[in-house]
Amino acid sequence: MSGARHLLTRQWVAIAGGSCDVRMGLGALGQAEPMLKGAVGRPRLCMAVVSRSVEPSHCDELSRQLAASGFTVFWHEVDEERACTLGEASRLAENLCAHGLTSDDLCCAFGGSGVLSLASYVCGSWCEGMSLVGIPSNAGAFLEGALCPRGIDVANERCMLMVRPAVSHVLLDYDLVCTGRQAEASTYARTLMVAAAMCSSERDFSTLWDGVDELMGDDDEEFVRRLLDAAKSRGRIASSTAAAIRQSLCYGQDFAYALGSLTRGALTPSTLLAEGMRFSARLAVGQGKLSLDDMLAQDELLEAIGAGSATCDVDPLALKDAIRHERFVRTNRFMLLLPLGLGRVRFSTVEEELLLEHARAWCAAHAQDEGGNE
């Protein structure tokens, strides 16, 4: 963490049901005291919900900032991989109750998208709502966990309970979100940027396309600017009064969940999401709803931002059935989110025969040879 103090920038970002105060800059975690003090009327108690993957030095700094703000702090550690479950939600709620936190107290969540989503789920309902400050530990967590939380898993099904964002303040520290630019969390964030642009507008897609070289460069300010652009796009989509537009935020996820269930952790989240977007675009072309040029534009942008391509052996029938399962576990109608153009994604009916045809083509194109290569 940088020892020098840098001026923080402040922006308001739209989220579903309201807006969020985002403060950002280099070494922002070490300057959190004013924001923490203003998050509640009178500082008293704070539950710090922290991912076990967060470095101890960062936890120590958060502890100092909370203490300086006048809070008595209780700590609640969470495994990132298990965060979005009902069991973890119950454990956090029981901890809030045990320490006597009320709607007038503060919760501060520090970690990845799972921890931030868990905190939104619990804080949004605790005593009719308590103040929540989010500190994403990586770029992907800012887009998916803080401002547009992922859902809570139920049994073996992913994201079955919708989570509305409960966060009122977000602290975006460049030392956290801009390090490891080639790491998976940053690649996943860039993949979410492409997905947001595909759902938002052709202008947003063109802006991301024109700035991809700067996005992939070493300029932290440029990277955060693109993060904010994507956050604003996702916020507008999530806040839309039209259900069809709000639903487009899940673009590519049905295929990603289906393939992930078959490959069991062998592929990264960014690769799964990117493959879901590619598969959906090819289905749309097969139905005559998307031009070949637009499909190739998405392919080129995903390649430019470093989103990988899957190499795995998957049975086409199993893939088709897994995709159908992901839809039928949530609705009685089989429809997939397909791009109808750059900046427009909607649910569309897909015949089972066409789905199987594309599943076979995908499996053949991504199969490993006997030597383990594609």
What DSSP letter does each residue of 255-314 carry, written as one string? HHHHHHHHHTTSS-HHHHHHHHHHHHHHHHHHTTSS-HHHHHHHHHHHHHTT--------
pLDDT recorded at residue 1:
43
Q: How confident is the model at residue 170 (pLDDT cuts 50, 70, 90)?
A: very high
280, pLDDT greater than 60: yes
Range 9-179 classified under CATH 3.30.565.10? no
Say if CB 120 and CB 167 are below 8 A apart.
Answer: yes
Say if CB 232 and CB 201 are below 8 A apart.
Answer: no
Q: Cβ atoms within 10 A of the Cβ of 365, count?
A: 11
pLDDT recorded at residue 2:
44
> What is residue 28's DSSP assignment?
G
Q: Which residues contact 18 (CB under 8 A, 6 or more apart)?
A: none
Average pLDDT, the chain: 95
Residue with tokens 């649910």: 347
Query: How much of the chain, in percent, has pLDDT values that exceed 70?
Result: 97
Cα 313 from Cα 368, distance rounded (Å): 6
Say if CB 323 and CB 355 are below 8 A apart.
Answer: yes
Fold: same for 9-179 and 250-366: no
The mean pLDDT value for 5-10 works out to: 84
Cα 262 from Cα 89, distance rounded (Å): 27
Q: Quick one: which of 115, 142, 103 has its CA closest to 11?
A: 142
pLDDT, greater one: 180 or 291: 291
Residue with tokens 């427009």: 344
The SS3 call for residue 88 is helix
pLDDT recorded at residue 133:
98
4, pLDDT greater than 60: no
| pLDDT one-digit tens code per residue, 211-254 | 999 999 989 999 999 999 999 999 999 999 999 999 999 999 99
Q: Cβ atoms within 10 A of the Cβ of 258, count?
A: 25
Which sequence spans correspond to the domains of the chain? 9-179, 250-366
pLDDT recorded at residue 373:
55
The SS3 call for residue 374 is coil
Cα 298 from Cα 338, distance rounded (Å): 13
176, pLDDT greater than 80: yes
Considering the domain 250-366, what is its CATH architecture?
Answer: Up-down Bundle (1.20)
pLDDT recorded at residue 147:
94
322, pLDDT greater than 50: yes
